[in-house]
Amino acid sequence: MIRIHDAYLRWLGPALLFLFGTVFFRLSFWLEASSSLLLHATLVGLAAGYLFWQISRWVVLRMQQEFPGLEQTRQRLIMLLLIAPILVNAAVFFRFGVHLLLGSRTTLWLGLVDYTTSLGIQLFYHVVYFSIYEGLYVVRQWRETCIEKEDLIKSQWQSRFNSLKSQVNPHFLFNSLNTLSVLIDESPAQASRFVDELSSIYRYLLQANDRELITLGTELTFIESYTNLLRTRHGTGIDVRIAVADPYLSSSLPPLTLQLLVENAVKHNIVLPDQPLFIEISTTDAGQLRVRNNLQRKNRWVSSTGIGLTNIAAKYRMLTQTDIIVQDRDGYFTVLLPLLNEPVQAAVYQGDSVYPA
């Protein structure tokens, strides 16, 4: 059950609502009734008010638990509309029954005028009950959504900043230039291809940052170029296998998602010819993208901010309202990502550039 801090409402609300109903709905009765009848009416009215305030509160909070979030507001309202007639009639007959027990009524039957009047008053009360708690919930959810959006915007800017830093990362650039230096002497043709791959990767990284989504096919083509650089540096120490079903190639995902995951695997694991790192990118029967690598953690400590996975998780939470799944078990590190079917402006990774289709 959802917990809210509403003690003041639960104590003051029924009394104020009873006073409002007395002034605007039953003033003539209060001016003409005897003192004993007024006492009975006050006790019964307050008792019914507090009781059905609590019942209505429980019902609304239960509906919020069963149908959470702003996207399910319609379902909650429909359920409350279906439950309202039951509560309203229960409140009418509760008051009538208590008045009979106290002897303040002389007939065993409610007249049509009394019934419709009481029904209208109780309907008004229950609309107030429901509106207060549903309104508070909607406002709270709206605020949380705004905060999440602000956090995502900050996260996106942080991601872009970190991506730009990684693009000019001295360590990555130093390793690439060392590899290039060796290739120039040993294989000029391979060195030329290496330069082409390196320039196209940097160009893609710069352009992809301007997109919220990109097709899986485009991202996979980029990953192939990215892994070619890794293979040139690590040789047979790294083995990246792609097994993605063709129907999913047109699905979309946030750009650079795969690059972050592959980079994360290389950073934290041993990559040697006699201890190769295997990275598998595939799709599941449930329509998820799975990125998995064998675990062979480095003996030395590797600094990590965790920003990569955190940023990916935040993007998916805003886009799909679901979390990514991270598993670390049975000798494998696995990340499961939802694939989106939202249309995006197609982009084609062609060697040295990314062209809008």
What integer best gives the mean pLDDT of the chain?
81
CATH number of 168-356: 3.30.565.10
What pLDDT does residue 290 have? 96
What pLDDT does residue 173 have? 64
Of the ranges 119-128, 197-206, 315-324, which is most confident? 119-128
- Nearest to residue 263, comparing CAs of 322, 330, 311? 311
CA distance 356 to 334: 32
pLDDT band (50, 70, 90) for residue 168: very low
pLDDT tens by residue, 221-234: 989 888 888 888 88
What is the location of CATH 3.30.565.10 in the chain?
168-356
pTM of the model as a whole:
0.50
Q: What percent of the chain has pLDDT over 70?
A: 83
Pure H helices in the chain: 7-25, 27-32, 35-66, 73-102, 112-167, 170-186, 188-208, 216-234, 257-268, 307-320
Q: For the residues 243-254, what does the mean pLDDT come to? A: 91
pLDDT tens by residue, 116-158: 888 898 999 999 999 999 999 999 888 888 887 877 777 766 6
What pLDDT does residue 166 have? 53
197 versus 45: which is more confidently predicted? 45
**Is the per-residue pLDDT at 11 higher than 80?**
yes
What pLDDT does residue 242 have? 95
DSSP 122: H
The two three-digit tokens of residue 99, written as one number: 């008045």
Cα dist from 80 to 72, 133, 297, whole Å: 13, 12, 54
pLDDT band (50, 70, 90) for residue 353: very low
Cα dist from 349 to 65, 166, 205, 214, 357, whole Å: 46, 20, 11, 11, 10
Q: 201-239 burial, b for 16+ CB within 10 Å, e for fewer?
A: beebbebbbebebbbbbbbbbbbebbbbbbebbbeebbb
The two three-digit tokens of residue 180, written as one number: 């290039």
CA distance 232 to 185: 15
Q: Do residues 346 and 306 lie in contact, with contact meaning Cβ atoms separated by under 8 Å?
A: no
What pLDDT does residue 243 have? 94
Total residue length of the chain: 357
pLDDT tens by residue, 73-126: 899 999 999 999 999 999 998 888 888 787 766 555 567 777 888 889 899 999
Q: Which amino acid is at 61?
A: L
333 versus 29: which is more confidently predicted? 333
